A = this chain, B = another copy of it.
Amino acid sequence: MTTSIIADDGEKKIFVNMVLDAWRTQNAKVDKFLAEVSDEQLAWPAVLGRNSGLYVIGHLTGVTDGLLPILGWGERKYPEFEETFVKKPFDAEAKIATAAEVRKAWKCVNDIAEKKFVEIPPDEWFDRHTAVSEEDFAKEPHRNRLNVIVNRTNHQSYHLGQLLFLTKNRED
């Protein structure tokens, strides 16, 4: 029932829904891309003839996997994705996870995040996240947990704009 949005928790709940809706919309677009792209296409260079599509999906997976620790709500499920796809730049010679492994991890980290996100009371979204100091947060209260999702959603959109180069029939 969408009408419960106001009844429950007022404005905070509406705002949490705005941000999570945008996040889910972008995730669904990546899902759609993954349903359309072949494993072979994922191996092609997507960005400036450099990063492969697989690396970009691994990167997004590693970043989403890092959400719960940043928000203070859990641990990483795939710490090795942070090493390979977040801390290190793309290296065509490096042995990285297979397309099947990356696809599975992408789905898994998103399921874990979604499950947590719907459990969290709206109030908690407006608390400080672990990457901002108490002192900075007192001065800049908009640097809260929900703001991390705002920024990560844009990060995902940005990379999604690059991935379409791998599937010619996608809309731009």
**A contact set with B: CB distance below 8 Å:** 2-3, 5-6, 11-12, 14-15, 17-19, 21-22, 25-26, 47-48, 50-51, 126, 138-142, 144, 146-147, 150-151, 153-155, 157-162, 164-165, 168, 172
Contact = CB atoms under 8 A, between A and B. Distances in A.
A62 B161 CA distance: 19
A157 to B, nearest CB: 4
A172 B48 CA distance: 9
Main secondary structure of the interface of A (DSSP, over half): helix
Given A22-B147, A158-B160, 4 more contacts: A14-B126, A15-B142, A48-B164, A48-B165
A56 to B, nearest CB: 9
